[in-house]
Amino acid sequence: MLKSKICEMLGIRYPVFQGGMAWIADGKLAAAVSQGGGLGIIAAGNAPGQYVREQIRLAREETENPIGVNIMLLSPYADEVAQVAAEEKVQVVTTGAGNPSKYMETWLGAGIKVIPVVASVAMARLMTRCGAAALIAEGGESGGHVGELTTMVLVPQVCDATSLPVIAAGGIADGRGAAAAFLLGAQGVQMGTRFLSARECSIHPVYKEKILKATDLCTMVTGKRLGHPVRSLRTRFAREYSKAEYGGMPDEELEALATGALRLAVQEGSEEKGCFLSGQIAAMVKKEQPAAEIVKEVAEEAEAVLREALQWVK
């Protein structure tokens, strides 16, 4: 069985996290993943504290296993959501898109294990000093807000820079990717895109279909000019945004174009105005299946791949 320190630390069966995808990762999806033995993570995204509290309680009705909350640090509600996570005493908080230092004392005081996403060695060092329990090293193959480095390059460097367990994210959707991450030094994996196809993932059917039909070159990064690079499916909207971005559209107009685009993709499946966040690995997501099955399948595949790996050593 695929096991690591992170399983013991968090009390989970498989070292598999479900990424905290804004607008997508709700209490229902997180509960299904946690019930299946992984770590389900509720995404706060840009939502207010009350929404997050409701989703935590909903998840708790469906599972007694540990759950996490992801705090998107660019959110105007980050402060209140940070407080809600502490009050509800979720087992794990993950953070994204910034530096969570100012919340660490509150979370650690509530007995929460804090696992920040880092996209650089410097941030990995800083978070290690600040009391993180583990780190998620997320490469730029991932969907949504992306850093510069790839998973292949980032994970071993983060492992070398910290004594904490490292969870690899970005570009992982099956047991081969998970096994590779372990060989790079990771003690767990986080997947987002693969869980978009979970039966319990309530995205619009158009979104799910786009993921299941995706091919290898189907994503692109936009938003670099405004300082928030985001990977999404290469739709007409994404191409037009990119054209506007490099064609000199003023910042305010560009921001207006992006406003609400995540919600329009997730809830309405809007082809015209939706931004369908996706990792590069979407082409390897082939069918809808229960979240618990995804967790088990990836862990078991990784175990088989790791067993076979010894064949290369003569």
Which residues lie near ligand TUI (CB under 6 A)?
22, 45, 72, 74, 96-99, 117-119, 123, 138, 144-145, 147, 228, 230, 277
- Which residue number is nearest to ligand TUI in terms of Cβ? 144
Distances (CA, A) of 15 to 6, 18, 33, 308: 6, 10, 12, 19
Residue placing its CB nearer to ligand TUI in the complex, 65 or 94: 94
Task: State in angstroms the smallest separation of the CB of 303 from ligand TUI.
Answer: 27
Task: State in angstroms the smallest separation of the CB of 226 from ligand TUI.
Answer: 9
- Rounded (10°) CA dihedral 146, 147, 151, 155: -130
Residue placing its CB nearer to ligand TUI in the complex, 21 or 292: 21
Task: State in angstroms the smallest separation of the CB of 100 from ligand TUI.
Answer: 9
Residue placing its CB nearer to ligand TUI in the complex, 197 or 278: 278
Task: State in angstroms the smallest separation of the CB of 148 from ligand TUI.
Answer: 9
Residues 276 and 232 sit within 8 Å (Cβ to Cβ) = yes
Task: State in angstroms the smallest separation of the CB of 23 from ligand TUI.
Answer: 8
Residue placing its CB nearer to ligand TUI in the complex, 74 or 256: 74
Residues 70 and 95 sit within 8 Å (Cβ to Cβ) = yes
Question: How many of the other CB atoms lie within 10 Å of CB of 53?
Answer: 18
Residue placing its CB nearer to ligand TUI in the complex, 72 or 282: 72
Residue placing its CB nearer to ligand TUI in the complex, 99 or 106: 99
Task: State in angstroms the smallest separation of the CB of 16 from ligand TUI.
Answer: 17
CA 42 – CA 92 distance, rounded (Å):
10
